[in-house]
Structures are given as C-alpha cells and as structure tokens.
Structure 1
Amino acid sequence: MIDDLADILNRLVNQKDNLHVRFPDPDISEPALAFKVPFPRLEIVLEGELKESGLPLSETMLSASQVLYVQAGKWTLPEWTAPVSTLSILFGRQKLGFCVQHWDGKQLRTEKQNVARLG
C-alpha cells in the first residue's frame, strides 16, 4: 500500500498545466531486459531525472513533471543512474495499478497498490 498516494495524485492534478507528456520512439528495437505489459501505462517522474532507453536518442532523460505514455504491449527500459522518484499508473482491464519507486543511488524501494475498476 502506498501511504501518500492521495497526496501524490493531488499534487499532480494541481500541476496539470506543467506536466509534459512524451512518447517512446517506435523505431527503437526492444532490448532484452525491457519492461513490457499488455496494457497502457503512464510513467511519471516526481523528483529527479531518469534515463529512458525507449525515448529518442537526442532526448533520453525524463525529468520532474514529465510523463511517458506507453501504449499497450510496448516496452520501457529505465536506467537508474541518479536519485529519482517515479509513479507508474497501469491501466489494466479489471484494475488500476499504482507503483511508486524511489532510487536513492544505491537501492530501489518500490511500493504498489491496486484499485478495482468499475464499469
């Protein structure tokens, strides 16, 4: 369970005009260790910067308030090189998944929560 999920979501809603949505480069081949799921998701940088191998080579860094929209069945491959906090929102058929990850430069801490979808 993510204790501060409501606060994180509230902060994002209040900053909606400052969020910048980015999209993976469709022409980059899928690497062996890529993360791939059969449903769409948003990868949101809350603090810090994160290198994402699926972005165009000229702009591989995601920074705070940037959102990566990943289509169903597509991949991502984050490179944890500097301290960063992220929120992933996964849009499954039966539920929404939330995952907050904190990388302090040495250890990755992950918190997950699922919420049933209605309708």
Structure 2
Amino acid sequence: MKRSTQALTALSLVAALGTGTALATGAIDFPDEVKSSSIKLPRGVESQAEFAKHAKVAQQEAEAAALAALSGEVVKAKLDDEDGYLVWQIDVKHATGVTEVAVDAGNAKVLAMEAEDDDDHEDRNERR
C-alpha cells in the first residue's frame, strides 16, 4: 500500500511538472472558471471543517500543483465550493500580479486560472 501511494505521488508530481512546462510554453490554456471537479459536495456542506472532511488532497499538494502550473509565491490557499464542486483556491503572486488557481481537491489537477484584479486584493488587504 505504501509503495502504491509513493508511486501515485511521484506520478502526480511528474504530471504537475509536465503541466507547468506545457503552460510555460503556451501549450495549455486553462478556463477562468471551474466547470467540474472529482468531488461533488453534498447539499448543506458549507464550512471549512466540512470541506476538509471531503478533500483527498492536502493543502501542500494543492499548492505544489498550482506552483507547477504557474511560477510564483502562494499568498493564500483555502478549500472552496465552486458551483457544488470542492476545489482548492490557491492565490499565486507572480511578476505580473496575482492569479487564482483552482485545484481539484480530489486529484490535484489544475482546473482553472483567473487573474485577480488589483482592486480585489486591495479590498482583501483592507479586511485583514
């Protein structure tokens, strides 16, 4: 069992690195919103604690997947409900701004990327 988990983790890392290379060369164009993910949330699940019970991917793995797809620094990470699907929302700061990367909470696949407006981050900083 341990060997299978290690092999799966290694395979995920190779796939994420390949995705990052493809993205850097312009071969992959992600949508700006999540259409689906591997985890459909049951009705009534709304809190971070409940989201965590359903997630199969740890925050560290989701952040690694986001950074493999987009070089930069993670400034925020949280589990979120996107139209009934569970995803990690990873905000990555890079040379041209901040991009929100949606990572599947079930398999660490990057699902979508959307550039954040400067106004959005100014508002977030004011609320902290």
Same fold (TM over 0.5): no
Whose radius of gyration is greater, 1 or 2?
Answer: 2
- The structure carrying a bigger strand percent of its residues is 1
Tell me the TM-score normalized by structure 1. Answer: 0.31
Tell me the TM-score normalized by structure 2. Answer: 0.29
